[in-house]
Amino acid sequence: MKLKKILKTTRKWAEKQADEFPLDYGEDLSGLCAVASKKLYKKLKANGFNCELAYNDRHCFVLHNKHRVIDITASQFGLGRINVFTLHDNIEDGHHWVIKKTFTDVDELSDYQIERGWYDEQI
């Protein structure tokens, strides 16, 4: 499956989840970043993409080839529905895409979120 199709179908899935989840994620998918990123990560890996889950204290997203951000929930920051861009080394601390930790396993990220006190609905 091509990247563009994976991104579109996963974003649509996330929008449906936002309507059904107990927390009010809203149309911008605020608060759904980890759930959506895990789903996207699984789809990308299943289609042979080299990627990781990236985490900081406020946001989760997918990192492709160590430097390319793939974020289907960046709409919560006033950006488009699907965002793919190169991550630069000079990104400021506190920015949405600062990477504190990466994971190559969905369960490891989930365990880390639990340790950090994320809401169950966000795991």
Predicted confidence (pLDDT) per residue in 67-118, tens digit: 999 999 999 888 889 999 998 766 676 578 889 999 999 999 999 999 999 8
| Residue whose C-alpha is closest to residue 43's, from 10, 17, 81, 76 | 10
Q: Are 7 and 81 a contacting pair, CB within 8 Å?
A: no
**Which of these ranges, 10-14, 15-19, 53-57, has the smallest mean pLDDT?**
15-19
Task: Name the band, by pLDDT with cuts 50, 70 and 90, for residue 43.
Answer: very high
pLDDT over 90 at 26, yes or no: no
Instruction: Provide the pairing of β-strand 101-103 with 51-55.
Output: antiparallel
Q: Dihedral of CA 54/56/57/60: which sign? A: negative
Q: Are 61 and 71 a contacting pair, CB within 8 Å?
A: yes
Torsion, Cα 85 86 90 96, to 10 degrees, reads 40
Percent with pLDDT over 90 in the chain: 61
Mean pLDDT of 11-38: 84
